[in-house]
Chain A
């Protein structure tokens, strides 16, 4: 079965520092990859997605992610975070059986 692993449940970081949120998935076939952000008491907002093409994907709010097929990873990065980036981030995979799988989420806490 498909699985999505976000190893870090919480990531504390100071404002203006860089951050990387890790995501690994298990699959031997092609997948589509997504990162979503969830602010408190809100639904999920699409940050970025990888469907095909360039492995470096740029999203909203200055985030980017790199698809690494050999390491089955899709880590999310931002070179300089803001207080407003404090939220929970979910990695997701759509596999070739047309089913979405979510990671357990990483809570990003940006400190002043």
Chain B
């Protein structure tokens, strides 16, 4: 069974940093591109960024709203995905989801349960 479990969320002050993790199981993690998607309270879904697989040099893509502040990484030996968030702003407050991109059909076929990040003083 495919499982994605986020951790590391919580309350952080504006300007602070936080690192989210996503533990994957039930599939060959190293084959897949992985993404982060967020949802501010009461709002819609916003794509945050992507990391490709080793074959594609672990290259990354980011939304303009987070580029230069957030960094996505992965450790295939630990089946884990990470989101390092620096210079956090109040508008980064959201539930953060990790999502798996299907290998041959490219859509988000599995999502984690989400983790809340609150940026507030």
A-B interaction: no
